[in-house]
Structure 1
Amino acid sequence: MAISINGVNAGVIRQNNEFITLALKIKEPRNKESLFFLSPLGLRDLLIALESRLSDKHQPGEGERVQYEKECEKVSKKMLENIPLIQEDELKNADINRRINSLMLVDDKGENLAFSLTLHDGKTDELLVNELQIQVLAHAIIHAINNAGMRDLALRITSLLDFLPLYDVDCQQNDNLEFDSYTQPEWKHNLFNHYLAIIYRYKDEKGNAQFCGSVVKTRAPSGSKEAEAITRRLLDFSPRLKKLVGVPCQVFVRTLTDDKAQKLNQDQCLRALHHLRVQSAQKTQNA
């Protein structure tokens, strides 16, 4: 039986100012309650799906958007009347079997998002989130993290919701690419439609031009303000690109495909990144 939401509450469990888990308590119909515990990765997976639907809902015309906001207000009011209490004992003696080991979006075709939750004890629950409940659910999670004095964690998680990292690259002088890859599940790929190749040109301590790059999936095409913002936030996410934080760079971005049904493999992504690097080097030489 799928879990439906009437109300929601969240609280943070931490140890020595370190985030351990987020307790998510759901009030279901007939006053039944369910308690789950999410890691930062589980939180990010949940929020990335919620953010995707919110992004879709903000695309329609003004009339549809206003109607959606009105309906959200009605649902939000009902949810705020049904906030379940989280007992101190539930946090102090957290049941490890209620920890979500993996979370997967299994259906987003209708007005409900259906999530499969695999628990620590091997059991699986299904959670339904109506699109009108997303704002309240996301706000409860972020408010709990901020309330625990972990605003940096909230900012870090929310800065990673509008793109999917696939490859990070250092371009070598011999045209070889030294790279890290990030394996992403199919359901996350399906939330995004644009593959972007990104090249950063910077100078090393000797004044020689060097190149780093990345391939991501987004909902934003190259040339957009959203894509430009992602190229900056990538530097904080990627271990390979962190060295560029605060370093003057020229950034080159190219959309590889905007067809959600088209999947690019590793070879296609890295070849596209190499070609962009070659072209960006030629542009700067001719400038």
Structure 2
Amino acid sequence: MKFLRIGPAGAERPVLADGAGGYVDLGPVTADIDGAFLASEGPARAAAALAGGRLPRIDVAGLRVGAPIARPGKIVCIGLNYSDHAEETGSPHPEEPVVFMKAPGTVVGPDDTVLIPRGSEKTDYEAELGVVIGAPARYLDSPREAAAVIAGYALSNDVSERAWQHERGGTWDKGKSGETFNPLGPWLVTPDELGDPQAIGLRTRVNGEPRQDGNTARMLFGVHHLVWYLSQFMVLEPGDLVNTGTPAGVAFGANDFPYLAEGDVVEIEGDRLGRQRQVIGRA
């Protein structure tokens, strides 16, 4: 299944793709696609309502697409998780996942404007596979248990300010947490529809120029390993988002790509995850 949230920012309506090219209103099932919906077997209830013909059709043409989940409780990110990205930045392959946090308020819709922060020198893009948690994950015994706590997947852009991330001291978080710094969606795709999360192509264009063309097969630590690993250090809650790292081709790499400027157009797509398009503005 594919879940969406449609409408003005802060007033999105939950919507479900009907499998035949249209959409249905999830209002009879839930007020929103959030942690409470995911934790209460909401996707199963939505599937049953769709099969029973109890969901009215909705025309989404011309409507804004919001992030496919309401504001997450936390966003946990993984750095240097693709072999080619680590190599392009001149970093050794990490022996354990590199973990940092991103402010939950960074999440915006997939086609919303991304704002370069005031004083920014090096705003960058990162196409990523986002993992949305659907059940509490606490001290999982093994990566095999991770599949049971994953509600679905979404295309994620982990926008970054590299000077603040690497040149201003402290942790990476301040270079990752600017407003609008996490376009998400368009869809929350359930695991059965996505298939193997380690076989997803991710591609980025800036002003029509190809920048990233990677595949999750090149992750150093796979999705299930990451969820298991994180559960040893924190409790992952329903509705939380895990950004799993980015492939090579970012401006911070060794390829002389320019950083983002006002007016640039960033387009990101992922196999079975949909597409994003952001016009870059300034705060």
Q: Which gives a bigger RCO, structure 1 or 2 (Cα 8 Å, sep 6+)?
A: 2
- TM-score (structure 2 length as normaliser): 0.22
By percentage of residues, which structure has more helix?
Answer: 1
Bigger radius of gyration: 1
- TM-score (structure 1 length as normaliser): 0.22
